[in-house]
Amino acid sequence: MNSVKATLIWFALTLAVTVPVFVAARSPLLAWREPVYIAAGFAGVIAMALLLAQPLLAGGYLPGLPARRGRRVHRVVGAALVLAVIVHVAGLWVTSPPDVIDVLLFRSPTPFSLWGVIAMWGVFAAAFLSVVRRRLSLRVWRIGHTSMVGLVVATSAVHAILIQGTMGTVSKTVLCLLALAATTKVILDMRVWRHLFHKRG
Amino acid sequence: MSFSVPNRRIVLTATASLVATGASGLFAPALAQDIAPTPSMRGGANNYLPGAPIVERIGSGGFLMSGTVRRAGDGAPLAGQRIQIWAHTTEGHERDPHSHGATLTDENGVFRLEMPQIVPAFGQPHGHLAYDGEDFETVFLRPVMRRAGDTSLSADFVLKPA
């Protein structure tokens, strides 16, 4: 890959990840929120941005980070993603405990929170599978991790889009679509479904 | 002797007028005797602080919360009922005591309380209202604003005698 193309890819990824964060940082809503609530919101924004980086790293699409090295970074970013989700939920809990309890018990009046809870458990499940990966067959690992992250990206996108929060509508939508597109591409390129039909693989 | 089979248009028109009659006019007096109580909304009681004081306005105002309080069954307006109101506003979080206040309904069962501008929190711009008195069953409401820029919000109570 030539260096111009490499530079452009990294530039585009940097933009896609940083612009939503900068737009959120300029939200007027921040003026009326306490630090814990602000931190919780940004943990959510960052988690969404990491969901775009993850499939690109897993597929070895990023210049300088081919599959093997890319996956090492993918594991580190995955741990950061788990941490971001925990900070997001814990920070919201501190801000308004009854609202978060309602959300976790699936009895919240807000429709977007349901998708967020599903995404949270999906992230935890995908991370758990990667921790016990050595004990799994390649088939179980691939199908399990892929179906979990597919669920995570789809439900996170719905969760984010439905929320009236600090993120800008345009940058939020673009980030969600890019994450969905990148996830779809890596699933197609790795032809994960072949593991569904062939027991050995 | 001629006999005409009713065509589709006549059947449709007859059905539509029957439905319209039923929905709008004729049965309304019967319904007025049986106005159903308002159920509490999901999440309505979140961050409720019992015993919010009756105030002229919450904070420096600028946003109007209003509504009506009526009795279940006959729908009679209820005067002097205490409605408690709280929200995440430009002046504080839902949990802050200064974000809470209460007001009484007038002789027409109407309440109006000025409060600071409600801002989106937990993903939706919304307010909380409570009726928590002796004479009727407790009701918690959580209305959502159509747009975050709205400067008023309303919620109506139909209370069931305790």
Task: Say yes or no: A169 contacts chain B, CB-CB below 8 A.
Answer: no
CATH architecture for residues B63-159: Sandwich (2.60)
Residue B161: partners with Cβ closer than 8 Å, 6 or more residues away: B71, B72, B135, B136, B137
Record: contact A96-B89, CB cut-off 8 A: no
In the chain, the amino acid numbered B62 is G
CA B53 distance to own-chain centroid: 21
Q: Are strands B63-71 and B157-159 parallel, antiparallel or unpaired?
A: parallel
Pick the residue from chain A with its C-alpha nearest to B116. Answer: A32
Query: pLDDT band at residue B98, thresholds of 50, 70 and 90?
Result: very high
Min Cα distance B31 → chain A (Å) is: 29
Q: If you compute the radius of gyration of chain B from its CA atoms, what whole number of angstroms results?
A: 21
Q: Which residues of A touch B124 (CB under 8 A)?
A: 110, 164
Residues lower than pLDDT 50 in chain A? 201
Q: Which residues of B touch A117 (CB under 8 A)?
A: none
Instruction: Report ipTM for this prediction.
Output: 0.87
Residue written as token pair 């995955």: A78
The rounded distance, in Å, linking the Cα atoms of B79 and B90 is 31
Record: contact A99-B42, CB cut-off 8 A: no
pLDDT beyond 60 at B27? no
- Burial class from Cβ neighbours inside 10 Å (0-12, 13-18, 19+) for residue B76 reads exposed
CB nearest B90 (choices: A32, A96, A163): A32
pLDDT beyond 50 at B25? no
State residue A2's pLDDT score: 79
pLDDT beyond 70 at B31? no
The rounded distance, in Å, linking the Cα atoms of B66 and B110 is 7
Query: What would the two tokens of residue A26 be?
Result: 């300029």
Task: Say yes or no: B120 contacts chain A, CB-CB below 8 A.
Answer: yes
Query: pLDDT band at residue B20, thresholds of 50, 70 and 90?
Result: low
pLDDT beyond 70 at B28? no
Q: Which residues of A touch B120 (CB under 8 A)?
A: 29, 164-165
What are the residue boundaries of the structural domains of chain B, listed by start?
63-159
Question: Is the Cβ–Cβ distance between B155 and B44 less than 8 Å?
Answer: no
Pick the residue from chain B with its C-alpha nearest to A88. Answer: B122
Record: contact A98-B142, CB cut-off 8 A: no
pLDDT in tens, A109-146: 999 999 999 999 999 999 999 999 999 999 999 999 99
Question: Is the Cβ–Cβ distance between A37 and A88 less than 8 Å?
Answer: no
The DSSP element (H or E) to which A37 belongs, if any, is helix A35-58
pLDDT in tens, B70-94: 999 999 999 999 999 999 999 999 9
Q: Which residues of A touch B42 (CB under 8 A)?
A: 102, 107-109
Average pLDDT on B8-27 reads: 53
The rounded distance, in Å, linking the Cα atoms of B44 and A110 is 12
State residue A195's pLDDT score: 78
Min Cα distance A124 → chain B (Å) is: 22
CB nearest A164 (choices: B45, B89, B125): B125
In the chain, the amino acid numbered A46 is I
Question: Is the Cβ–Cβ distance between A41 and A193 less than 8 Å?
Answer: no
